Structure 1
Amino acid sequence: MSVELLSPAGNFQKLKSAIDFGADAVYLSGKSFGLRAQAGNFSLEEMDEAFKYLHSKGKKGYVTVNIYARNYDFKDLKNYLHELKEINPDGIIISDLGIFKLIRDEKIDIPVHISTQANTTNYYAINMWKELGAKRVVLARELSRDEIREVCENTDMEIEVFVHGAMCISHSGRCVLSNYMTKRDANRGECTHPCRWNYYLMEETRPGEYFPIFEDERGTYIYNSKDLCLLRYIGDLIDMGVKSFKIEGRMKSIMYVSVVTGVYRKVIDDLSAGRTPDYEYLQNLLNSVSNREYTTGFYTGFADETSMNYKTSSYVRNTDFLGVVKESDGGKVIFECKGKINSGETLHILDKNLVEQEIIFDKILDLNGERVEFTKPNRDYILDCGINFQKGSLIRRYKV
């Protein structure tokens, strides 16, 4: 059975990076009705262009319409669904049964995928979604390996599983903390991530006296989950019959999308060819991009205290993202700069095959051919290094 690697696309540039590094499909959102309202997202015109690009590459794209809708949403939703119909995405990802009914009533002939937000945890529910006309179900992230296997043995529905990225303390992300504390509704794409904040205890008869849960002056991050990483279990999931492997991260950087997509692409390709992946090298690449440390979540059993990061809500960032190769010929590399580079620095360039080379940036030129001592972000430069690199390769600085 062929499997799909599904990557996040918070904007068009991230979409192209995901495809460059091996994604079979991406998921994206319009400006409304998705659960990542703070991502760049796509206007209808941009979405139309994106799907033309994807289909020209033989790739697929799915649009998230996975809010839990209120009554007042449906008028605009109806218009939006008809606009999506003209754009012709390969699927619509939904959570809300009312939105599903609207899709059917309006005869929107686009395959429906059931979001992880629907919290589907058993094959009876999956088979019910099939009877209603859905094509795919994205399983809840609370399921163990044995539960996923049992699901796959008892349905012929397409099954999608999250294999990498941020976890939520709530059931499949349906959290009310954000709504309660900040009046921003997580189920409408406006989550402020209060699960990442630090908290103290206060005894009710001693108002204003705050006690750290552990002896740490910063408090502790009691809700702060580590990131999911099922890198070493992809072979298991393929054998079970899982159709699609999903990477979380529409709000993450181009470097994150590229590296994580490339790593899972490599694992899938190696396993398909009967090769043993170099898990240590690939894990180190995953460690090089932003993360909150890693956990297998519920996959290998019940998540426990080892699945939480009690030290900080901040990301671990082991590399700086400094540029993307745009062209390379005759040993000269034209790159789009994403951060300051000083002449003479030793940096790394990672290509789409996940081969990384150390390069000394001692001959940096502007587009007029004039040598520069340092670069400025959001400008193009030329590196005269005598080596050609693939378009889309990443320029990075490892932190000491």
Structure 2
Amino acid sequence: MKRPELLAPAGNMEKLRMALIYGADAVYMGGKSFGLRAFSDNFELFELEEGINFTHSLGKKAYITVNIFPHNDDLTELPGYIRAIAGFGADGIIVADPGVFRMVRVNAPNLPIHISTQANSTNWSTVVFWEDLEAHRVVLARELSFADLKLIREKTKIELEVFIHGAMCISYSGRCLLSNYLAARDANRGECAQPCRWKYYLMEETRPNQYYPVLEDEQGTYIFNSKDLCLLKHIPELITAGLNSFKIEGRMKSVHYVATVVKVYREAIDQYMKNPNNFQIKPEWLDELNKISHRDYTTGFFLKETSENTQIYGTSSYKQSHDFIGLVKEYNPATKRAVIEQRNNIKVGETIEIMQPGKPKFIQEIQALFDEDGNPIAVAPHPQQIISMPVAQPVVPYAMLRREVNKKNYNEL
């Protein structure tokens, strides 16, 4: 068996670093234009180069998303942008539109092309089509079952990438006009307003302003609202099927989300590769995935066609069991103190959890806090405030401090 690539989202430079340090083999990121995440922080051109260089310094890969379906006006700046990406040494460019594919071939003939999930590759013949055009990889549609994935793998030689975790789209991999119609924001140019998460009612045309719940619920219903994909339990099948890259969705998600999901799947993949015959899903992995902001989980189309149970009808909100409250900047072994950048209100007396890249997490009570000048403080209330605190065990940079949401001391903040 070949070890699959674990591919993580990088919405900005901090998320890129966190993804790689917590165990991703590769990252995908987008510039300020030509990607499908207009409301992510994204990267300026010089930041793309910086991100690629940092990724390569760790011996890992960086792919750039250019997967919009462009209009004529979008094409003016595109050739220069493609040449810049190639000049930075990107390991691949992710495209969905045949016109963009052609422009890459003309302007950067040696740049590997990955066919985006937006291209909706749902069968082996489509994949062979891209293979014949010498694309390097196809990102398969999320609407495929495991049987579909296996058949495509058997009939093709090209690299295949599959989504294993993250938000699902109500339409075929983004082919949705709800945002265009209801909010005048083009989903396929990176501006989706996510109307699939909105609340809807039924109105009979001769009774204007008389709204009826679609279900027996006076609050309305979220009839388009999909659960989040989670294929953690199916890592063995995906690996043995010979799929090349496992992709995590979430360029607009938090640092906490990126680091936690990457760490869980890194451990799962590594443990399976080390001992496939005795591999078991650890309960703590599932527990970790519940600590981040998420919707209820589903296996999507992986086992069979979806049913009404893959939707969430009562709410569009996320849930999570823990809040991300701080990021370790450095550790002083002499004083046994960690320097921390605050990300949420922290105070003395709270019980927290510290998660680290490549190490087990541990729990401790905050016994003392100090400001940048070394003065003791009872609370750190200011965003990104630099503080220090004693820690029960040595910690490494990029370790994360978390607090259980339903703890009494959290409710008192």
Q: TM-score band (shorter)?
A: over 0.9
Aligned residues: 400
Is 2:293–2:318's contact at 8 Å kept on the other side of the alignment?
A: yes
Q: CA deviation at 1:106?
A: 2.4
Matched, 1:378 2:381: no
Is 1:81–1:108's contact at 8 Å kept on the other side of the alignment?
A: no
Cα deviation per residue 1:21-75 (whole Å; 9 max; x = unaligned)? 1000000001100000100110111111111111110010100000001122112
List 4+ stretches of structure 1 deviating above 6 A.
none
The aligned residue for residue 72 of structure 1 is 73
The aligned residue for residue 395 of structure 2 is 389
Letter of the 2:396 counterpart: Q
Q: CA deviation at 1:329?
A: 2.2
Cα deviation per residue 1:142-179 (whole Å; 9 max; x = unaligned)? 00010000000010110000000000110011111000
The aligned residue for residue 317 of structure 1 is 320
Q: 2:330 aligns with which of 327, 330, 337?
A: 327
- Structure 2 segments unaligned to the other structure (5+ residues): 407-413
Q: CA deviation at 1:354?
A: 5.6
Letter of the 2:41 counterpart: G
Letter of the 2:182 counterpart: M
CA gap 1:139/1:320 in 2 versus in 1, 3 angstroms? same
The aligned residue for residue 59 of structure 2 is 58
Matched, 1:300 2:303: yes
Counterpart CA distance in 2 for 1:266 and 1:387 is 21
The aligned residue for residue 356 of structure 2 is 351
Following superposition of structure 1 onto structure 2, how do residues 157-236 of structure 1 map, counting pairs within 5 Å?
157-236=158-237
Following superposition of structure 1 onto structure 2, how do residues 74-89 of structure 1 map, counting pairs within 5 Å?
74-89=75-90
TM-score of the superposed pair, with normalisation by structure 2: 0.95
Is 1:85–1:108's contact at 8 Å kept on the other side of the alignment?
A: no
The aligned residue for residue 411 of structure 2 is none
Q: CA deviation at 1:107?
A: 3.9
SS in 1 for 2:263: helix
Following superposition of structure 1 onto structure 2, how do residues 271-282 of structure 1 map, counting pairs within 5 Å?
271-274=272-275, 275-282=278-285
Q: CA deviation at 1:105?
A: 2.2
Is 2:86–2:108's contact at 8 Å kept on the other side of the alignment?
A: no
CA gap 1:175/1:354 in 2 versus in 1, 3 angstroms? farther
Q: CA deviation at 1:385?
A: 3.0
TM-score of the superposed pair, with normalisation by structure 1: 0.98
Q: CA deviation at 1:4?
A: 0.1
Counterpart CA distance in 2 for 1:385 and 1:71 is 57
Counterpart CA distance in 2 for 1:386 and 1:72 is 57
Letter of the 1:389 counterpart: V
Is 2:3–2:273's contact at 8 Å kept on the other side of the alignment?
A: no
Q: CA deviation at 1:386?
A: 4.6
Q: CA deviation at 1:11?
A: 0.3
Matched, 1:247 2:248: yes
Counterpart CA distance in 2 for 1:216 and 1:353 is 46
CA gap 1:253/1:354 in 2 versus in 1, 3 angstroms? farther
Counterpart CA distance in 2 for 1:84 and 1:4 is 22
SS in 2 for 1:218: coil
- Worse-superposed segment, 210-219 or 127-136: 210-219
SS in 2 for 1:5: strand
The aligned residue for residue 125 of structure 1 is 126
Counterpart CA distance in 2 for 1:366 and 1:95 is 49
Counterpart CA distance in 1 for 2:218 and 2:342 is 39
Counterpart CA distance in 2 for 1:159 and 1:6 is 12
Counterpart CA distance in 1 for 2:284 and 2:33 is 39
- Worse-superposed segment, 191-200 or 339-348: 339-348
CA gap 1:338/1:194 in 2 versus in 1, 3 angstroms? same
Letter of the 2:21 counterpart: D
The aligned residue for residue 113 of structure 2 is 112
Q: 2:346 aligns with which of 327, 341, 349?
A: 341
SS in 1 for 2:170: coil
Counterpart CA distance in 2 for 1:254 and 1:357 is 19
Following superposition of structure 1 onto structure 2, how do residues 91-102 of structure 1 map, counting pairs within 5 Å?
91-102=92-103
Cα deviation per residue 1:119-160 (whole Å; 9 max; x = unaligned)? 001111111101112000000000001000000001011000
Is 1:35–1:189's contact at 8 Å kept on the other side of the alignment?
A: yes
Counterpart CA distance in 2 for 1:104 and 1:159 is 20
The aligned residue for residue 151 of structure 2 is 150
Give identity over the alignment, percent: 47
The aligned residue for residue 366 of structure 2 is 361
Is 2:93–2:114's contact at 8 Å kept on the other side of the alignment?
A: yes
Counterpart CA distance in 2 for 1:399 and 1:379 is 21
SS in 1 for 2:76: helix
